[in-house]
Structure 1
Amino acid sequence: MSKERFDIHQHLTDRIVAAIEAGAGQWQMPWHRHPVNIASGNKYRGVNVLGLWVEAQVNGYGSHLWGTFRQWADKGASIRRGQKASYVVFYKEIEVDSPEDGEDECKRRLFARATPVFNADQVDGLTEVPVAAPVEELQDVDGFISRTEAKIVHGGSRACFIPKLDEIHMPPRDAFTGSASSTPTEAYYSTLLHELTHWTALPHRCDRDLSGRFGTEAYAMEELVAELGAAFLCAELEIAVEPRTDHAQYLAHWLNVLKADKRAIFTAASKAGEALTFLRG
Structure 2
Amino acid sequence: MRKSSTTHTTANTGTERADLYQTVTDAILAELELGLKPWRRPWRTTGAGFPLRHTGQPYRGINTLVLWMAMCAHRYTSPYFMTYRQAQELGGQVRKGETATTVTYSDTIRRVEETPDGEEEERRIWFLKSYAVFNAGQIDGLPERYHPASDPAEAAPVQRIEAAERFFTDTGADIRPGGQRAFYTPNLDYIRMPAIADFIYPEAYYATLAHEMGHWTGHPSRLNRETITRRHSEEARAVEEILAELTAAFTCASLGIDHDLRQDSTAYIGSWLRVLASDKRFIFVAAAHAQRACDYLWSLQPEEHQISGAAAE
| TM-score, with length taken from structure 1 | 0.86
2:50 corresponds to which letter in structure 1? H
Structure 1: distance between partners of 2:255 and 2:104: 24
Structure 2: distance between partners of 1:4 and 1:174: 53
Conservation of the 8 A alpha-carbon contact between 1:47 and 1:265:
yes
1:89 deviates by 1.0
Q: Which residue of 2 aligns with 1:18?
A: 30
Q: Which residue of 1 aligns with 2:231?
A: 212
Q: Name the CA shift for 1:46/1:194 in 2 (closer, same or farther; >3 Å).
A: same
1:202-281 alignment to 2 at 5 Å? 202-208=219-225, 209-210=227-228, 211-213=230-232, 216-281=234-299
Conservation of the 8 A alpha-carbon contact between 1:28 and 1:243:
no
Structure 2: distance between partners of 1:74 and 1:12: 29
1:1-281 alignment to 2 at 5 Å? 3-4=14-15, 6-7=17-18, 8-21=20-33, 24-27=34-37, 29-32=39-42, 33-38=49-54, 40-100=55-115, 101-103=117-119, 107-130=123-146, 140-177=163-200, 184-208=201-225, 209-210=227-228, 211-213=230-232, 216-281=234-299
Higher relative contact order structure (alpha carbons within 8 Å, sequence separation ≥ 6): 2
In the alignment, structure 1 segments of 5+ residues that lack a partner are: 132-137, 178-183
Q: Report sequence identity in percent.
A: 39
Q: Name the CA shift for 1:163/1:105 in 2 (closer, same or farther; >3 Å).
A: closer
1:105 deviates by 5.3
1:26 deviates by 4.2
In the alignment, structure 2 segments of 5+ residues that lack a partner are: 1-12, 43-48, 149-159, 300-313
Deviations 1:95-140 (A, max 9, x none): 4452223356554422111011111121222233259xxxxxx972
Structure 1: distance between partners of 2:107 and 2:186: 37
Conservation of the 8 A alpha-carbon contact between 2:103 and 2:131:
yes
1:30 corresponds to which letter in structure 2? R
Structure 2: distance between partners of 1:20 and 1:162: 27
1:278 deviates by 2.2
Structure 2: distance between partners of 1:67 and 1:28: 21
| TM-score, with length taken from structure 2 | 0.78
Matched residue pairs, number? Answer: 266
Q: Name the CA shift for 1:267/1:3 in 2 (closer, same or farther; >3 Å).
A: closer
